[in-house]
Amino acid sequence: MNKTKHILCALAIASAAVNMTSCMDKKNENPFFSEYTTPHQTAPFDKIRIEHYEPAVLEGIKQHQAEVDAIVNNPEAPTFENTVVALEYAGDMLNRVLSVFFNLNSAETSDEMQALAQKLSPILTEHSNNVSLNEALFARIKTVYETTDKSALTTEQQRLLQSTYDGFARSGANLNDEDKAKYRELTTELSQATLAFGQNTLKATNSFALNVTDSARLKGMPESLLEAAAQTAKEKGQEGWTFTLHAPSYSPLMMYCEDRDLRRQMYMAYNTQCVQDNENNNGELVKKIVNLRLAIAQLLGYESHADYVLENRMAENADNVNQLLDQLLEAYLPAAKEDVKAVQEIAARTEGKNFELMPWDWSFYSEKLRSEKYSLNDEMVRPYFKLENVIKGVFGLATRLYGITFEENKEIPVFHPDVKAYDVLDKDGSYLAVIYTDFFPRAGKRSGAWMTSYQEQFVKDGVDNRPHVSITMNFTKPTASKPALLTQDEVETFLHEFGHALHGIFAATTYPSMGGTNVYRDFVELPSQLMENFLPKKEFLSTFAYHYETGELIPDELIERIVRAQNYNAAYACIRQLSLGILDMAWYSRTTPFEGDVLAYEQKAWESTQLLPTVEGTNMTTHFGHIMSGGYSAGYYSYKWSEMLDADAFSLFEEKGLYSEEVATSFRKNILEKGGSEHPKELYRRFRGQDATIDALMKRDGIK
């Protein structure tokens, strides 16, 4: 064994004294140290243990650094192939390890894993900076960038060259030595702060449970939800019914429970996450994250973090973002006020004319009004949305549109019993991708829903390496007497994340950083939000919406009610989204450090969008993971930007036919397959033949 390997093995076992044989055994036992022998070389989750990550990360860093050194020390003149392409494919082992580690740190974490994440974070940041701040490497990239005949490159190659050069410049490569040292310090602090923010949020969510033993307090709650709450109580060793802050528990209580005090307790618990004076408080971390991002942006020559972020977005700058937000606010606010007025009126009829509608009343009374106006509520449609049938329906929609099929592959290892893995086959029967599905909440999974990848699609040495994607949700769980029956919102969420998955599945680019969802943040939500449009369509619902007990197909009359209610409170929902986008821009358009009160700043920032009374002590920012620990800082507007795109895009399906092969093929070829290999504006124009405006969105929402 050489000296380097011996040092690595010593690190892996925390400096314990080992002999050569035991060191090699450790490596041989670690699945990351060899090629995967699983179907499609998927991650061997059944063999991966917590002790495998650290040595594999350290070895991955070593290998990646060696590959970078080989590029730098190449005696040949820098070229696109020997510098840019070589760097693109470098770091394979490190990428494999980190894709598993960080995905599972969100979907199946533990205290031990979170502690390891904190330990590895500065090591990984240092390595990232060692690459991005490598002067000799950047000199080669800069030479290629300045001397290459761009017209001799394909469009994707041009994009790769540009993004590689920009990536280094935007990561401090042009800074002087003193500022590079400062950049290293700031980015290391930021990586640790964002990680801590996410961990605190997860702990705060998991630490709350409301146990109710008096059944009279749960009047109005549907039997299926009570059964789920009773099961939660049993799992926690409690009597009665237990409710948590996870969406399948929290949302129905807020919607159906007649006990206003219980609704208030749940609302306050949810909206004071990471505000309370305990170890999970994120107040100081918010300041730290905002100020670190500002400091990094200004070190790189930008006035604000928003200026830095938006340089590589469809929106291009803060003025264009604010123009969209202001335009939508002006268009939707009058209708949103009417939405609130209507809900206030039904509450007053029930509670008395002097009743003040509070935030914890909104879901309850707006659901009452929806039921009154449309004879519709979630419990009417839930029996038709058995999860197994919904899966068939959603997968079947992709079959109708694109000809692809899904076959469960039980030979593919999974990381939790709830997870299933499927082979995705193209319309000619050829292998296209692997997709994992993970539907139910658990203690080790963060809240929300997301799509991610364990392997990106790319072509290397003539081989098309197909993607391994995953969709993760927190849906209503099955109970002892009922299967998992979803709400309409949950089905919509499934469609949304599945749209992201299709973006990954259909990737057809050469370079891994160019394919799938590796696109501008304000373009990435187009494929996902487009899929949501199919939900209320009879042609879609009739393919899977069968009653879980009787087998009866969802009645036409119920579908008609769903369609009529489609725009119910659409204006209010739009203003809610705008409030989050405006809050995000308020934090990241700053040009001076923030030293004030987080709660007061939030209230001031989004006051123009607040349609209900503000409750003292509540705060969104302290658990707003999207913009603090996720990838949406100065980017939350993307949901509305993409909504503008998806409404405009879906109008073409409606014009040509819901399952139009022509439109679906064009969407696949021009949007889904291309990833970030071309500018999104060009891709969209090629698909749609025009730029999008808010007209189709306003028409769909019943505003215009």
Catalytic residues: 497
Strand partners, 243: 210
Rounded CA separation 285/621 (Å): 11
Helices (DSSP H) in 91-154: which residue ranges?
A: 92-107, 111-132, 135-147
| Beta-carbon count within 10 A of 689 CB | 9
Rounded to an integer, what distance in angstroms lies between the CA atom of residue 457 and that of residue 453? 10
Residue (of 426, 427, 423) closest to 437 by Cα position: 423
Is the separation of the CB atoms in 467 and 219 below 8 Å?
no
What three-state secondary structure class fits 104?
helix
* First CA to last CA distance, the chain: 73
Between strands 210-212 and 241-243, the pairing is antiparallel
DSSP secondary structure of 521-559? HHHHHHHHHHHHTTTT-HHHHTTT-B-TTT-PBPPHHHH
- Report CA-CA distances (Å) from 53 to 56, 60, 222, 681: 5, 10, 45, 40
- Block residue for tokens 């939030």: 602
CA distance to 46, 116, 387, 438, per residue, from 50 (Å)? 12, 9, 32, 21
Report phi then psi at 583, rounded to 5: -60, -45
Contact 536, 545 (CB under 8 A): no
- Sign of the torsion formed by the C-alpha atoms of 635, 641, 643 and 649: negative
Cα 133 from Cα 139, distance rounded (Å) = 11
